[in-house]
């Protein structure tokens, strides 16, 4: 039996040395050490040995198993090393690596986050509404009559259902008041859509930031104070801000806001940045009609609203000359802001 074990060991070591890949090596292992392997079977012969022979042959058997196992492990390490060397053959592993590029925040998101941050500190909560709107929320409830030019087929994207792509975020004012009793103080960022001719300052999709504050005794002084504070925080304490009378159907009185800004070394000039006004009582009446209560009774509450173009703010902020850059997603453009 001892001779048999030695033959098995010799054969096994020869087969291991010859195994050309891991599969062949594993086949040798199974054929010798597996359940039905040669050495395993030889070991089962131990049963018939006498008590004196058993310990010595046990040692021989263990030594053989050990030698074979070690040989398999060494051969496997050798094969892996060969494979590694082969896979990097012809490759210069001393060349410096390529750095992974880092993403950045889109310029529109940068100004949106900053604007919202300022308004949140003044107690405005974030609100949202759908981009596919009803005529009611986009126009009627905002005191915008059926014959208003903004409602024209050539200015607005309509669906067959009668719904439309909202032309401004002011619709969120209505949705908020329909579901929340005053006081409400919200800021609503989002996309708006118009059938504009596309050029350097117009796209059919753009982004706005809407604000609304309704409570008891909100006055024009609150409107001016809040928005002056906002633009000072946004453009710097010494920035001049002016309110120019204007018309919007949903506010009375209404204003456009200009700030005096210096853009890249040129002489400072007035730039229009937002629309605003005191919420028109007709808007409160429309909301009261849907709610069926007197929470927004025009004799009990007042409020102010404002809307600004975020694309405009971003273009001014970063000196971007063409609004189309904001949607083209050219990494050479975007990476300048991160």
Binding residues (CB under 6 A) for ligand DAH: these are 168, 170, 210, 248, 251, 275-277, 305-307
* Least distance between ligand DAH and beta carbon 254 (Å): 6
Q: Between residues 32 and 278, which has the closer beta carbon with respect to ligand DAH? A: 278
* Least distance between ligand DAH and beta carbon 326 (Å): 18
Q: Between residues 61 and 218, which has the closer beta carbon with respect to ligand DAH? A: 218
β 205-215/302-309 pair status: antiparallel
Q: What sign does the CA torsion over 123, 106, 325, 153 have? A: negative
Q: In angstroms, what CA-CA distances link 204 with 4, 49, 157, 168, 319?
A: 88, 94, 10, 12, 21
How far is it, in rounded angstroms, from Cα 259 to Cα 226?
14
* Least distance between ligand DAH and beta carbon 197 (Å): 17
Q: Between residues 234 and 248, which has the closer beta carbon with respect to ligand DAH? A: 248
How far is it, in rounded angstroms, from Cα 117 to Cα 137?
27
* Least distance between ligand DAH and beta carbon 304 (Å): 7
Helix ranges (H only) for 88-132 are 107-121
* Least distance between ligand DAH and beta carbon 306 (Å): 5
The SS3 of residue 91 is: coil
Contact 304, 277 (CB under 8 A): yes
Burial class (CB in 10 A: 0-12, 13-18, 19+), 326: buried
How far is it, in rounded angstroms, from Cα 183 to Cα 186?
10
Contact 251, 280 (CB under 8 A): yes
| 157-191 residues labelled b (16+ CB within 10 A) or e (exposed) | beeeeebbbbbbbbbbbbbbbbeeebebbbbbbbe
Q: Between residues 12 and 276, which has the closer beta carbon with respect to ligand DAH? A: 276
Q: Between residues 19 and 227, which has the closer beta carbon with respect to ligand DAH? A: 227
* Least distance between ligand DAH and beta carbon 307 (Å): 3
Q: Between residues 38 and 168, which has the closer beta carbon with respect to ligand DAH? A: 168
Q: Between residues 230 and 248, which has the closer beta carbon with respect to ligand DAH? A: 248
How far is it, in rounded angstroms, from Cα 157 to Cα 165?
6
* Least distance between ligand DAH and beta carbon 143 (Å): 11
């Amino acid at each position: 039996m001892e001779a048999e074990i030695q033959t098995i060991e010799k054969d096994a070591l020869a087969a291991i040395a010859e195994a050309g890949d891991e599969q062949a090596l594993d086949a040798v292992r199974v054929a010798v050490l597996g359940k039905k392997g040669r050495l395993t079977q030889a070991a089962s012969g131990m049963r018939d040995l006498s008590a004196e022979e058993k310990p010595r042959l046990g040692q021989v058997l263990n030594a053989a198993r050990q030698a074979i196992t070690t040989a398999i492990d060494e051969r496997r390490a050798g094969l892996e090393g060969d494979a590694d060397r082969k896979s990097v053959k012809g490759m210069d592993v001393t060349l410096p690596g390529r750095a992974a590029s880092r993403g950045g925040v889109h310029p529109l998101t940068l100004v949106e986050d900053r604007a919202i941050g300022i308004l949140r500190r003044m107690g405005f909560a974030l609100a949202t509404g759908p981009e596919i709107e009803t005529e009611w929320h986009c126009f009627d409830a905002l005191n915008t009559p059926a014959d208003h030019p903004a409602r024209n087929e050539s200015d607005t994207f309509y669906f067959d259902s009668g719904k439309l792509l909202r032309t401004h975020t002011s619709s969120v004012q209505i949705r908020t008041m329909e579901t929340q009793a005053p006081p409400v103080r919200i800021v609503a960022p989002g996309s708006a859509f118009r059938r504009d001719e596309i050029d350097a300052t117009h796209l059919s999709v753009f982004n706005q930031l809407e604000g609304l504050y309704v409570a008891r005794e909100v006055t024009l002084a609150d409107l001016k104070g809040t928005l002056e504070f906002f633009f000072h925080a946004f453009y710097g304490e010494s920035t001049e801000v002016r309110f120019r009378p204007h018309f919007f159907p949903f506010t009375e009185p209404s204003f456009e806001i200009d700030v005096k800004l210096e853009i890249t070394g040129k002489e400072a000039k007035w730039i229009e940045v937002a629309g605003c006004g005191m919420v028109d009582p007709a808007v409160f009446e429309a909301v009261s009609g849907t709610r069926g209560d007197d929470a927004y009774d025009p004799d009990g509450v007042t409020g102010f609203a404002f809307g600004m173009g975020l694309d405009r703010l971003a273009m001014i902020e970063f000196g971007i000359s063409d609004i189309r850059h904001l949607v083209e997603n050219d990494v050479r453009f975007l990476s300048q802001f991160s």
